[in-house]
Amino acid sequence: MDSEEELVDARIAPLGSLENLSQREVEQILNAGRGDVYALFRRCALAVLSSGLETDDIRDIFERYRDFDIRLGRQAWGVKLELKNAPANAFVDGQMIRGITEHLFAVLRDIVYIHDAILGTQRFDLEDSYSITNAVYHILRNARILDYKGRPNLVVCWGGHSITAVEYDYTKRVGYELGLRALNICTGCGPGAMKGPMKGATIGHSKQRIRDGRYIGMTEPGIIAAEPPNPIVNQLVIMPDIEKRLEAFVRCAHAIVVFPGGAGTAEEILYLLGILLAPENADLPLPVVFTGPPSAAEYFGHIDRFIGATLGSAAQRRYKLIIGDPAQVAREIAHGVDAVREFRRARSDAWNYNWLLKIPLAFQQPFEPTHEAMATLELHRGLPAHIMAANLRRAFSGIVTGNVKEQGIRSIDTFGPYVLRGDKKIMGLLDELLAAFAAQRRMKLAGEYRPCYRLVA
């Protein structure tokens, strides 16, 4: 760390979450401030406090603030946080920025709840599909994401944290058009294509005098340090793992917009299409639009060819590709959301949580991308489309882990690149797509990209 960089000590009271707690809840939180739960909370808290730093190298953040410490204390109405050697960029004139304070206590709320109510009890069988869906619902409800009772209007936006300035401006223009149509935004909460739509929507909402716009950020502990919450997020939720984060996205979404991105965006696309290809979801409306500026046409051409060659034309029919026309994207989404509302009304499904969507267990079970697990993924022609989508999703999840997650980076440093094996055609398509991501600098924010994978036909 730069010896001249300022660090801050502070005591922070709850804001946005945990303002009113019973004595039992206080004891639970204080007890959670020890051992593995504390270590997880410290890492996520540092990620939140580091929001705005131009890096996605987790090791750099943790090394730069290696002396950072955060402790939980008791006060008359609940808990307080005591910070030592915190990043100065989280403060203005000695006071923590309000949005960062809210995010910090949202992290504490979710980590404690997940540890105590989801993982720490026998209430949820996390090997059972319906029970997993129920657990996701309870996490979102505890975070008050489901409190909204208005008409369906939530648009999930996916895309990369490492995108060009032209692409970022385009995401803002799409967000603006969505905001003008009174649509709210949910993203992975980080920078780039996760921040742009929210930033644009705030202007659209302001012009329409919408003062309660929702800018929801959904993340998970493994990726929050590489993609810390951007300052526009006004509702933050931490899911236990990437699979439950993905399920939270699609359960809450009334429509999905996909901007250019890298391996993480490809993972999200494959997850979504794999689910929508399930026969049970054949008639379920969920508008999906792939979009970007004219300069992104080649990127989406690679994506579309890859999907067609691996999952087939049925998968291609589940999305529309719109290049260079933000207003048309918003019109398409608004029209699609109307269809979703009528469908859910007719089927008596909840407007704020899509219970009717069927998610196969293969898409819900956490995938730990060890070298062995990556090497044994089945990537062969002839697999059913939803199984191929599930396995390709896992492959991209492993690449994301090797690119930006601490445990993945350390594993690559120790054992070398992951090895992916499959048919020559599949490996060729995968190589073409990943090479395009790397050439377009979609894998990392800065510095030379060293592949964390090796493809073997």
112-144 pLDDT per residue, tens: 889 888 887 788 999 999 999 999 999 999 999
**Whether pLDDT at 325 is above 70:** yes
- The correct CATH number of 7-123 out of 3.30.1850.10, 3.40.720.10, 2.40.37.10, 3.50.50.60 is 3.30.1850.10
Question: Given 3-state DSSP classes, what are the helix, strand and coil percentages for the chain, each rounded to the nearest 5?
Answer: 50, 15, 35
Amino acid in position 229: P
Which residues, at least 6 apart from 48, have a Cβ–Cβ distance to it below 8 Å? 90, 100, 103, 104, 107, 224, 228, 229
User: How confident is the prediction for the chain on average, in pLDDT?
Assistant: 90
| Fold for the domain defined by 143-347 | Rossmann fold (3.40.50)
**Which residue did the predictor score with more confidence, 54 or 277?**
277
| 376: three-class secondary structure by DSSP | coil
**Whether pLDDT at 1 is above 50:** no
pLDDT at 57: 65
The closest of 225, 227, 264, 181 to 61, measured between CA atoms, is: 225
Q: How far is CA 366 from CA 126, 362, 397, in A?
A: 10, 9, 10
Cite the residue boundaries of each domain of the chain with CATH code 3.40.50.450.
Answer: 143-347
Pairing relationship of beta strands 95-96 and 91-92 according to DSSP bridges: antiparallel
pLDDT at 226: 74
DSSP one-letter code for 255: E
| 73: three-class secondary structure by DSSP | strand
pLDDT at 3: 45
Q: What is the DSSP string of 17-64?
A: S-SS--HHHHHHHHHHSSHHHHHHHHHHHHHHHTTT-S---HHHHHHH
How many contiguous H segments (helices) and E segments (strands) does the chain have? 16, 14
Q: Per-residue pLDDT tens for 208-258?
A: 999 999 999 999 988 887 788 999 999 999 999 999 999 999 999 999 999
- Per-residue tokens: 99: 């949005």
Cite the residue boundaries of each domain of the chain with CATH code 3.30.1850.10.
Answer: 7-123
The closest of 262, 286, 219 to 400, measured between CA atoms, is: 262
**Whether pLDDT at 432 is above 60:** yes
Confidence of residue 58 (pLDDT cuts 50, 70, 90): low
Pairing relationship of beta strands 69-75 and 78-87 according to DSSP bridges: antiparallel
Rg for the chain (alpha carbons), in Å?
A: 21
Q: How far is CA 211 from CA 74, 99, 201, 208, in A?
A: 34, 16, 12, 9
- List, as own/partner pairs, every contact residues 333-336 make where C-beta atoms lie below 8 angstroms and the sequence separation is at least 24, other chains included: 333/155, 333/178, 333/181, 333/183, 333/255, 333/257, 333/287, 333/289, 334/181, 334/183, 335/287, 336/255, 336/285, 336/286, 336/287
Residue 313, Cβ neighbours under 10 Å: how many?
A: 8
Distance CA 117, CA 243 (A): 18
Q: How far is CA 219 from CA 108, 111, 237, 344, 450, in A?
A: 14, 12, 7, 27, 25
Q: Per-residue pLDDT tens for 171-211?
A: 999 999 999 999 999 999 989 999 999 999 999 999 999 99
